[in-house]
Structure 1
Amino acid sequence: MLLKKLDEELNLQQAALRIRSQRQELLASNIANADTPQYKAKDIDFKAAMQSAMQQMSGKNPIGQHAGLLQQTNESHLNAVKTNSGDTLYRSLVQGSVDGNTVDMDVERNAYVDNGIRYEAGLTFVTDKLKEVMAAINGNGS
């Protein structure tokens, strides 16, 4: 029972770290393409991606099926690009630009730093949990 609970916690953290890692890559790409004409800033809806991952872990939403997948209802709408852990969405335009680029550097930098801090917190949680398990196995626990 204890091992099952630990496994569930670590699986949840693994999913969160995977999604955060993918999001970090997208945010870095947005920053790198800040001066690229017609580049559309992308992001992942972390909450929706985690809900999807949790449903997949519980078996309620088999891999490959995503609840609430966005549909293109007009040919001028942008398509969402499917990833393993959620949908990559195009960020809403905050301020228009002459070249059609939708990257807002303030938004991107803030999201990048926030996501990085949350990724590090997730790593710290996993590391601490594994240290607890090792201490219990070695008999050094309190």
Structure 2
Amino acid sequence: MKLFSSTFSILENALNYSSLKQKVISQNIANVDTPNYKAKDVSFKSMFQQEFNSSFENYRTDKRHFRFEGSSTGNSPVVTKKNLSYSQNGNSVDIDHEMADLAANQIYYNALIERLNGKFASLQSVIKGGK
């Protein structure tokens, strides 16, 4: 029997994604003037595929039913943007784009934290008996 719903693990994975994205954006901003630095990004598709492959299992009631199996590629969710160059020194960091991504990621993170706080508040209310 599961003590908590799967919402907590989903929110945890979403927070991990947001944290990784924050680190990558920070690295891009820190290297905005580094010659030949190529900007990086976090691929949501890669992270979703890794989670799907590692934790998703289907229940089959008939042997003719399909299995949900993904190809375990082992790709890193961090990808490098190689074909871009915004400056003469070969750097591919667009500071305006990075700052917009940073703001969007912060809003996403705050929304996840608010949802997690709501789940804990609901649990606390249940434990106290609705008082």
> Into which bin does the TM-score normalised by the smaller protein fall?
0.7 to 0.9
How far residue 94 of structure 1 moved from its aligned partner, in angstroms, is: 5.1
Task: Name the aligned partner's letter for residue 51 of structure 2.
Answer: A
Distance in 2 (alpha carbons) for counterparts of 1:94 and 1:139: 57
Which of 25, 28, 44 is 1:27 aligned to?
25
Q: Matched residue of 2:92: which SS?
A: coil
Which position in structure 1 is the counterpart of 2:114? 124
Task: Name the aligned partner's letter for residue 110 of structure 2.
Answer: E
How far residue 54 of structure 1 moved from its aligned partner, in angstroms, is: 3.8
CA RMSD, 1 decimal: 2.4
Task: Name the aligned partner's letter for residue 87 of structure 2.
Answer: S
**Percent identity over paired residues:** 29
Q: Does structure 2 retain, via aligned residues, the 8 Å contact 1:94–1:102?
A: yes
Which position in structure 2 is the counterpart of 1:134? 124
Q: Does structure 2 retain, via aligned residues, the 8 Å contact 1:38–1:99?
A: yes
Output the TM-score relative to the length of structure 2: 0.78
Task: Name the aligned partner's letter for residue 128 of structure 2.
Answer: N
Output the TM-score relative to the length of structure 1: 0.73
Long gaps (5+) in structure 2: 58-68
Q: Larger C-alpha radius of gyration, 1 or 2?
A: 2
Q: Does structure 1 retain, via aligned residues, the 8 Å contact 2:85–2:91?
A: no
Q: After the TM superposition, which parts of structure 1 deviate over 4 Å for at least 4 consecutive aligned residues?
A: 59-62, 92-95
Long gaps (5+) in structure 1: 70-81
Count matched residues.
Answer: 120
